Chains A and B, each alone.
Chain A
């Protein structure tokens, strides 16, 4: 059974139709890349899946449950985690507190009030920060991090929720070449922990880490299949490679 099944997702903003009847299926443990020219609806699709945008039509099933009408918090609790395109770390809080905030999100209310999980989560926060090369900045406000480091912190926060499916919207946006390489290395081990849907412009980056690619064009699916299939697809080459 597929982990995520989005069927006929349509999203209209007034007169503009951003998505029209898009299907997306993600299997357990799969790394799924969403590519397409600017304005093809990649980010909108991701937002509809995470609940940041309400789809005008269509259904979304996650792990067998219909989550079409679920709130973002309910989707997060079900195991869907979204990293936004524009970094939205909490700038005034310390780097450490940003990760703790994500890790403690599902602690019961009384545990939060009595701070019962703070000590227990310390190791996991630090392990997360080590993994994303942020441990030595733990005590500093997140606002002082570089853009690339803020992206890593965002990924760390999204991953801290131990999601079954991680949705990454342009994780390497605005990064230097070196930072992109490091990001690729940081994402590789995630494969053992969850599935991934990733929106990315950098084709080299996405080719290296994804099993399956879906190409969107003007709000519709142009093609979907393995990396090799997509690379050899004439339709994709015509539409995508000539326009990007």
Chain B
């Protein structure tokens, strides 16, 4: 099927063309695996994979900010944890557990907090440096962690335990297959939304920004506004993840806000590979499964093994695991010439017929 296209656009384009189908294959493959997992796995493993799915949302949110908008955020846990604490308080103090209230609330809290922080860090008159934004987000995450640990109302070091289950009418979302499919549906929805966005003309602007931020300003793009939009959207996704996580685990604690989790999110995405969305998801899956397996089999030294493994990938494979499977051309993607390939192949077959 791709032959006429490759011929019509010249031999130079053909190697890139050949590689253009890996990402959709990975996406479909992973979806199919996740869709059937609860039928295969024992319940405690389904709970574990639900956690992996929720963490995938965090990795996707980081991929958006770093992989697409070039913002090094060490603060994704801030939005995750704040939303988690907020819905925990809604449930504990106001008895509000309806999925239709707590999930939108979690999204809104993540969005507004990211908008606020993004306005300070990104929208100044001078273009902020990567280090400035990284330190700003890191400080935010650290400060929130300290605040939660010291504030009695938030449960101090212990956090807020025994959050009642999330509900839809009289139905309760309990840990297990039901929560699993809720998390899976959420991840798929968020993934498709981000995929749509990053492959749109807006995504082209982001791709340009990723390559040469300064150039974009001279074309008339308000670069910092674009960044603030992506940063806020990523905050909303992290907030959504925080809301789900709080109800899935049944408690929240200060680590959900802190620097350790923020750094872990950065590692997920760098390990899997940024700028493709699916790479970040793969990063979470691999790191979490390897951690789980190592913790079971090498209880004493597993963090060291994991650390060395991460270091090796990041040092020797800066494009992450996804770089092993997907060509540079496919990672960057093509944005314009709608249906050109098809138009050309139609043209080619018409010529062939005549």
Q: Residues of A with Cβ closer than 8 Å to B?
A: 50-52, 71-73, 76-77, 81-82, 84, 88, 90-94, 96-97, 100-102, 104-107, 109, 111-115, 117-119, 121-122, 125, 136, 138-141, 144, 157, 161
- Among all A-B residue pairs, the 7 with the closest Cβ atoms: A76-B220, A112-B202, A105-B220, A100-B336, A112-B201, A105-B219, A72-B217
Cβ-defined contact, B218 with A101, below 8 A: no
Query: B223 to nearest A CB, angstroms?
Result: 7
CB atoms of B337 and A105 under 8 A apart: no
Q: Which of B211, B229, B340 has the most CB of A within 10 A?
A: B211
Given contacts A97-B334, A100-B336, whether A105 and B221 have CB atoms under 8 Å apart is yes
Q: List 13 A-B contacts (CB under 8 A).
A: A73-B222, A81-B218, A90-B207, A93-B211, A101-B219, A102-B219, A112-B201, A113-B202, A115-B202, A125-B336, A139-B13, A141-B329, A144-B12
CA distance A96 to B10 in the complex (A): 15
- Chain B residues, Cβ within 8 Å of A84: 215, 218
Task: Please determine whether B218 and A50 come into contact, CB atoms closer than 8 angstroms.
Answer: yes
From known contacts A73-B220, A73-B223, A102-B219, infer whether A139 and B201 are also in contact, taking CB-CB under 8 Å.
no
| Most chain B CB inside 10 Å of its own CB: which residue of A71, A88, A91, A105 | A105
Partner among B201, B223, B337 whose Cβ is within 8 Å of the Cβ of A104: B201
* Max count, chain A CB within 10 A of own CB: residue among B207, B215, B220, B338: B220
Partner of A122, one of B211, B217, B337: B337
| B219, A113: Cβ atoms closer than 8 Å | no
> Could you tell me the distance between the alpha carbons of A154 and B335 in the complex, rounded to whole angstroms?
19
Of chain A, the residue at the smallest CB distance from B222 is A73
Report the tally of A-B residue pairs with Cβ distances under 8 A.
112
Q: Is B217 touching A71 in the complex (CB atoms < 8 A)?
A: yes
B residues near A (Cβ < 8 Å) are 9-10, 12-13, 16, 197, 200-202, 204-205, 207-208, 211-212, 214-223, 229, 328-329, 332, 334-338, 340
CB distance from B276 to the nearest CB of A (A): 14
Q: A122 and B204 in contact (CB under 8 A), knowing A73-B217, A105-B220, A136-B10?
A: no
With A97-B336, A122-B338 already in contact, the answer to whether A113 and B204 are too (CB < 8 A) is no
Q: Which residue of B200, B332, B335 contacts A114 across the interface (Cβ within 8 Å)?
A: B200
Cα of A88 to Cα of B220 in the assembled complex, Å: 15
Q: Decide: B218 and A113 in contact? CB cutoff 8 A.
A: no
Given contacts A93-B207, A119-B338, contact A113 B221 (CB under 8 A): no
Shortest Cβ distance from A14 into chain B, in angstroms? 19
Picked from B202, B212, B222, the residue with its CB within 8 Å of the CB of A88 is B212
Complex interface: chain A residues within 8 A of B216 (CB): 101
Please determine whether A113 and B208 come into contact, CB atoms closer than 8 angstroms.
Answer: no
Contacts of A138 in B (CB 8 A): 337
Asked if B218 contacts A82 (CB within 8 A), the reply is yes
Chain B residue with minimal CB distance to A113? B202
Is B200 in contact with A73, judged by CB distance below 8 angstroms?
A: no
A240 to chain B, nearest CB (A): 29
Instruction: Assess whether B208 is in contact with A90, with CB atoms less than 8 Å apart.
Output: yes
Which B-chain residue is minimally distant from A69 (CB atoms)?
Answer: B125
CB < 8 Å: which of A91, A92, A115 contacts B201? A115
* Nearest neighbor of A119 in chain B, beta-carbon distance: B338
Q: Whole-angstrom distance between the alpha carbons of A161 and B221 in the complex?
A: 11
Query: How many Å lie between the Cα of A99 and that of B332 in the bound state?
Result: 16
Residues of B within 8 A of A161 (CB): 219-220
Q: Which of B201, B202, B220, B223 contacts A77 (CB 8 A)?
A: B220
Distance between B286 CB and nearest chain A CB, rounded to angstroms: 26
The complex places the Cα of A100 from the Cα of B334 at a distance, in Å, of: 11
Which residue of B has the minimal Cβ distance to A99? B336
User: Using Cβ atoms and an 8 Å threshold, which residues of chain B touch A102?
Assistant: 219
19 more A-B residue pairs beyond the given contacts A101-B216, A102-B219, A115-B202, with a C-beta to C-beta distance below 8 A:
A72-B218, A73-B220, A73-B222, A76-B217, A77-B220, A88-B214, A90-B211, A92-B211, A93-B204, A96-B336, A100-B204, A101-B208, A104-B205, A106-B220, A114-B200, A139-B337, A140-B12, A141-B329, A144-B12
| In the bound complex, CA of A76 to CA of B222 (Å) | 10
Chain B residues near A114 (CB-CB < 8 A): 200
Among residues of A, the one whose C-beta sits closest to the C-beta of B219 is: A105
Task: Tell whether A113 pairs with B337 under 8 Å between CB atoms, given A73-B222, A76-B217.
Answer: no
Determine the residue in chain B with the shortest Cβ distance to A102.
Answer: B219
Asked whether A91 and B336 contact (CB < 8 A) given A76-B220, A112-B200, A113-B202, the answer is no
